[in-house]
Structure 1
Amino acid sequence: MNRTVLFELGLEEMPARFIDDALHQLTVRTKDWFKENRIPCGAIQGYATPRRLAVKISDVAEQQPDMEEEVKGPAKKIALDEEGNWSKAAIGFSKGQGQKVDDIYFKEINGTEYVHINKFTKGESSFQLLAGFREVLLGLSFPKNMRWGNSDLRFIRPIRWIVALYGDTVIPFQIGKVTSAKHTYGHRFLGSHSPTISEAEEYETVMEREFVIADVNKRKQLIVEQLSQLEEAENWLIMKDEALLNEVTHLVEYPTVFSGAFSDEFLEVPEEALITSMKEHQRYFPIRGGDGSLQPYFVAVRNGNSEHLDTVSRGNEKVLKARLADAQFFYREDQKGSLEKKAAKLQKMVYQEELGTLADKVDRVKAITDEISTLLDFSEAAAAKAIRAAELCKFDLVTHMVDEFSELQGIMGEKYARLFGEEEDVAVAIREHYMPTQAGGELPATVIGSVVSIADKLDTIIGSISIGIIPTGSQDPYGLRRQALGVLQILRQNNWPVSLEHLLDIVYKLYAKEQLSERNEAEVKQDVQEFFTIRASYLLKDEGIEPDIVEAVLVHGIHVYPVTIEKAKILADKRQDPSFKSSQEALGRVLNLAEKAVTSEVNPELFENKSEADLYESYQQVHDEYKQLMATEQPEKALRKLTELTEPIHLFFDKTMVMAEDEKVKQNRLGLLHLISDDIMSFADFNAIQWKQQF
């Protein structure tokens, strides 16, 4: 008779942020464990609350199915000695399979006979095997494990109880000093002391009776339903942030939604600060009215029932009032003085010991912004705004508000800049220069914000790498990868005709002038280029560009990034175009031999036949226009111009022996191919592309 199996691990409260992953691990590992142990079972249901991780497995068979398998052993020549008797190898093999040598038979595989045995394994009792499930529980991994008391066991939190049931029978095992049993614990305040789970199938029912909603999805849905009911009753728009909703789901075992209010005098504080106080510090849901404005109310989730909610609400209102009073005080204090005085305080804030203070960083960002503004041919007014935004981009780091709420950096900078009378473009750019704040996040919407953002990010990336801070593995404490991706995404969004390498050179020269780099300049440049190339590869592949084409267009750098993307897409289309095959072969043949050239100088007087003269003439006709098309960001037309060399190249190879015996003639021909290859490689490395697979 099949039965339901239950395992519950009772713990001290776990951090909410760890629960989703722990539950996923538990369900996946459970499925794998039952498969590896050949125990047939039905549905697997995972449960989690702050104080427990549990899994229920339905329809578990009483025993493993019997198994008969053919096992291959040593070759016949090893299994028999010269006299035809069984060797030690054959005897050991049969004994190891629980059989006798009389059970051996030979079977030919690829012309060689091997020993075989039919091995029969009787299925073991599931109940006996289930005690081994403790290894699944112990195998759960967490970002932080700790050792508790005198125990050698390292786990996320102390284990307080274990429930392990096969139907109504306890599965005996022990973890640390805790032995499995039928006894669990309900809600810390509402549940009874050590209730009993008589039958594994009754788990959810018993838990709900003990004021524990063990099913995460059910608990979350209860919260959502209560929020919706409150919205409808009060005509509110509750800001149901998904991350916050998920977090409060993992903070409670028995959710009850309630609301509270705060004085509308606090609404003078920028809503971002109020929302941050509510969401990040108190785990409250802010509320908007029908017009979208923030309202002086909040919604929270209690870990308990609906009794004495008024008292709970008043207590939370007092806590929030203190938080908001602090925010109000900070906001008012921050409006004293001037922006220049605040920016001057950056001189006392160390950015990096080797790179100076935050004031030093701001000076570099200003200089880089000035250079980029010139490169982009900004008007005098636009350039002045960009430089002013760069000058003020970090001033809010010294404010009380950002000191308390670090996530508001840039946001408060924008608001304070407006209050102090800065131009709107400058204020917006102060906020935007931090964008994107996360992978795939919003990019700056303004040109000035984009320029300052790139300047700041390039200084951070090159500064970090120049002092040896290079991300490795999953370690990237300064977010350099995200910032490099941001630089490329901003360049693409604005479609600027600016080479990434040119932008990097601006920063290299600044660092050389100020003698900031502690490492060899060539090594720094190589590391930075590789770092950006990897990020560009990631973005191109994310757009569906195949790896070989990515390699082909990035072979000599990223250059004008929007053009590089366009080149990659053009080549992806050409790979599917049979009419391009002849051009691809011609350009590829040039690249193959051009590597052997020792010079790119060509002397027409050394030409011995018409085909090489014609190819040189065709190259001269194509070259200047091709370069002009590339310089004006017209890669499709440029490739079309380059393919005008297809026929002259084929005729050249048909009529000309490149590797001539005369060394001067040979090098002259190779030099011609090298000239052409320079143009080809400025588009892409055609030989890196797997053309043959497509034609």
Structure 2
Amino acid sequence: MTTTNVLFEVGLEEMPARFMSDTEKQLHEKTIAWLASIRLKYDQLHTFITPRRFAVQIIGLETKQDDEEEEVKGPAVKIAKDEANNWTKAAIGFTKGQGKSVEDIYTKEVNGTEYIFVKKFTAGQSVDTLLPDFKSVILDLHFPKNMRWSNQTLRYIRPIKWLVALRDEQIIPFEITNVKTSNYTFGHRFLGGKTVITKPEQYEQLLNEQHVIVDSNKRQQKIVNEIKELEQQHNWVIPIDESLLEEVTHLVEYPTVFYGEFEKRFLDIPKEVLITSMKEHQRYFPVMNHTSELQPFFVAVRNGTNQHIEKVAKGNEKVLRARLQDAQFFYEEDQQLSIERNVQQLSKMVFQEQLGTIADKVNRVNKIAKIIARKLSLQDDVTQKVTRASEICKFDLVTNMVNEFTELQGVMGHKYALIFGEDKEVAQAIEEHYLPKSAKSELPKSLVGSVVSVADKLDTIIGCFTVGLIPSGSQDPYALRRQALGIVQIVKERNWDINISELIKEVQQLYIDFTTSDEMANIHEQLHTFFKQRAAYIMKEENIEQDVVEAVLAGKLEKFAFMIEKAHLLSEKRNDLSFKTKQEAFVRVLNLASKVSEEVDVDPQKFKNNEEKALFEKYQAIHTDYLKALTNKKASVAIELLSQLVTPINAFFDHTMVMDKDESIKMNRLALLSYISKDIKQFADLTEINWKQTHS
């Protein structure tokens, strides 16, 4: 089979850097899927992307599809032939549909029934016929934001300026938005020009000569190497933020790293402000020494060569200087204010139209924090710090600095609180109450910060659910899923002995004016399910099986760290052959106890045999110690105590007819099983588990 080399390139106006990694990933996956769909094999496939283009290079592509001969099954013979043994309309229609005649029919037996078949031959098509359809791959790419231009109806990430489509030296014809394919591309906007591509395999080298590095991995590696060179030359430490590195990689076509400096006086500003200004606003890398102290330098990436790099550095220094002067002014002005004045100003900031102002939210957070402190039985001095931190946790939102650098909310609250003489733990909690900021980010380190963080997130979640702002699909504008996950993570990490379901119900009373009591009960169920879903996510992250997760989460959401411990223990037990008879006994109890619809007390006077009496006595013997083991979070001890019931349970079922004709005896026996069932369910609902025994 002969092969050919193919190149497709789409030239556009500059694309947003934040969309480019996903665009290249889509391009790679959709091209592979497209080649599979048209049955063409290849040796290599490369994708490229820069701000002004994305491209696919296919090396060693077969020039023709393989011919196909397939066996096509038709109707059963009894339908394909009539009583006179002639072909019916069904058989004739089938063969015509396959481009065959009844003379091509043969029969085969399938599962005891005879069917008619034909063999269908399909000649493989040439790449010249198939390749123009790559247009569908280009148009199938999707982006978070699209635009239209001129009088075109196509909505795309940016206007298409040129198209390259080559099979060896031959142009593959198609067009998009009146742009026809050609064999010429454009190099760097300022350092390159229009150039003809003669062979697809020379694409990368040719554009490199035009000062375009089309391989994003190579651009990124060039940036990293040059940063490392600067580190060695100046004995610096330049932390490389991965998200910033990815962004600057996608902002340039030919990167050159350089450095600049700023006045040392700006180092009096908190380093978080300087770093944020450099990274978020200017896309600069900060410079540290070997003791992690910020230095008066920055590292940036130019889209071009090192020609006149000194002038470029001076220009960037001028821009940064203006930024830092603003920051210095804001920092000094903010210190002229007071925490109390700022807290009062929060009444002018809307949190959510139905839920009121930020001041209203802070008031609720303060009340929730006190509820949590009470449930955790915190000491008075800690509770006082929780109270103060929750009262002022949002005061920095009205500062000039946070207004300019929104990323620094909490961070500046911490800084300013210390300047204004607040307790260190209170100041730290102001920053930490925003944590965690993502599923994988750090949690609050302090107890005070953890309490205020949970209180703040609970207020947002319960408030939003109360006024109907419930996440659906990918829509979650208030990041409620992330915040609920953060709450469960903190509860787990802190090993808090707290019932999240009961906490939610108590906190809901703060929103009584927003809804009716009937609606509140329904909202509570929704919130309970919502938090269980987040708890399930954390358990799955710990490689706990889905059915074990459901078993442990079947009851109340409490002692979450202990719930995870129980789940890990059950995961071990499900593969333990010696536990098989125990789980069978427990599940049998749970299934029968489910028939009890109302609470019934056990009456020992109604026992009719020794086995039910022995079971009740064993239950009474282990019950208190079992509950104590659960209270002390000793999962192994609890399961061993429960296991002592297995022998009397089996004896009970061997000698006792639970569903006795005498209603009172039947209900008494069911009540006994119900007692045991309640204890088992306090550990987990074992009926949810698929007991896979791996031992033979």
- 1:546 maps to which residue? 545
- 1:536 maps to which residue? 535
- 1:510 maps to which residue? 510
How many Å separate the matches in 1 of 2:140 and 2:545? 38
How many Å separate the matches in 2 of 1:4 and 1:441? 45
Greater shift, 251-260 or 614-623, is seen at 614-623
How far off is 1:693 after superposition?
4.2
* Code of the aligned partner of 1:445: K
How many Å separate the matches in 2 of 1:675 and 1:557? 18
How far off is 1:472 after superposition?
0.9
How many Å separate the matches in 2 of 1:612 and 1:336? 78
- 2:207 maps to which residue? 207
Q: Tell me the TM-score normalised to structure 2 length.
A: 0.97
- 1:644 maps to which residue? 644
| Counterpart contact for 2:499–2:556, Cα < 8 Å | no
Map residues 165-564 of structure 1 onto 2, 5 A cutoff.
Answer: 165-192=166-193, 194-512=194-512, 520-564=519-563
| Counterpart contact for 1:567–1:683, Cα < 8 Å | yes
Greater shift, 625-634 or 137-146, is seen at 625-634
How many Å separate the matches in 2 of 1:399 and 1:422? 17
Greater shift, 232-241 or 676-685, is seen at 232-241
How far off is 1:290 after superposition?
2.9
In the superposition, relative to structure 1, how do residues 290 and 670 fare at CA in structure 2: closer, same or farther (>3 Å)? closer
* Code of the aligned partner of 1:204: E
Secondary structure of 2:670 counterpart: helix
Greater shift, 118-127 or 518-527, is seen at 518-527
Secondary structure of 2:524 counterpart: helix
* Code of the aligned partner of 2:185: T
How many Å separate the matches in 1 of 2:518 and 2:133? 54
How far off is 1:481 after superposition?
1.0
- 1:65 maps to which residue? 66
Instruction: Describe the superposition over 1:532-566 as per-residue Cα deviations: whole angstroms up to 9, x where unpaired.
Output: 01111111111111111111111112111111111
- 1:22 maps to which residue? 23
| Counterpart contact for 2:577–2:693, Cα < 8 Å | no
| Counterpart contact for 2:154–2:177, Cα < 8 Å | yes
How many Å separate the matches in 1 of 2:344 and 2:376? 29
- 1:34 maps to which residue? 35
- 1:594 maps to which residue? 593
* Code of the aligned partner of 1:575: R
Secondary structure of 1:219 counterpart: helix
CA RMSD, Structure 1 to Structure 2 (Å): 1.6
Instruction: Describe the superposition over 1:184-221 as per-residue Cα deviations: whole angstroms up to 9, x where unpaired.
Output: 111111112x2111111211122112111111111111
How many Å separate the matches in 1 of 2:299 and 2:582? 67
How far off is 1:582 after superposition?
2.4
Secondary structure of 1:690 counterpart: coil
- 1:8 maps to which residue? 9
| Counterpart contact for 1:467–1:519, Cα < 8 Å | no
- 1:680 equivalent in alignment to 2:675: no
* Code of the aligned partner of 2:118: I
Q: Tell me the TM-score normalised to structure 1 length.
A: 0.97
- 1:137 maps to which residue? 138
How far off is 1:90 after superposition?
2.3
Instruction: Describe the superposition over 1:70-96 as per-residue Cα deviations: whole angstroms up to 9, x where unpaired.
Output: 222222222223322222332232233
Secondary structure of 1:532 counterpart: helix
* Code of the aligned partner of 1:161: W
How many Å separate the matches in 1 of 2:260 and 2:518? 57
| Counterpart contact for 2:369–2:386, Cα < 8 Å | yes
How many Å separate the matches in 1 of 2:389 and 2:245? 37
How far off is 1:511 after superposition?
3.0
Secondary structure of 1:341 counterpart: helix
For structure 2, list consecutive stretches of 5 or more residues without a partner in the other structure: none
How far off is 1:694 after superposition?
4.6
How many Å separate the matches in 1 of 2:6 and 2:514? 68
How far off is 1:15 after superposition?
0.4
* Code of the aligned partner of 1:521: M
How many Å separate the matches in 2 of 1:439 and 1:333? 35
How far off is 1:153 after superposition?
1.1
In the superposition, relative to structure 1, how do residues 530 and 412 fare at CA in structure 2: closer, same or farther (>3 Å)? same
- 2:624 maps to which residue? 624
In the superposition, relative to structure 1, how do residues 343 and 518 fare at CA in structure 2: closer, same or farther (>3 Å)? farther
How many Å separate the matches in 2 of 1:577 and 1:97? 57
How far off is 1:179 after superposition?
0.5
| Counterpart contact for 2:575–2:692, Cα < 8 Å | no
In the superposition, relative to structure 1, how do residues 516 and 168 fare at CA in structure 2: closer, same or farther (>3 Å)? same
| Counterpart contact for 2:630–2:638, Cα < 8 Å | yes
How far off is 1:374 after superposition?
2.4
Secondary structure of 2:667 counterpart: helix
How far off is 1:692 after superposition?
5.2
How many Å separate the matches in 1 of 2:418 and 2:233? 38
How many Å separate the matches in 2 of 1:690 and 1:289? 56
How far off is 1:515 after superposition?
5.5
Greater shift, 20-29 or 613-622, is seen at 613-622
- 1:85 maps to which residue? 86
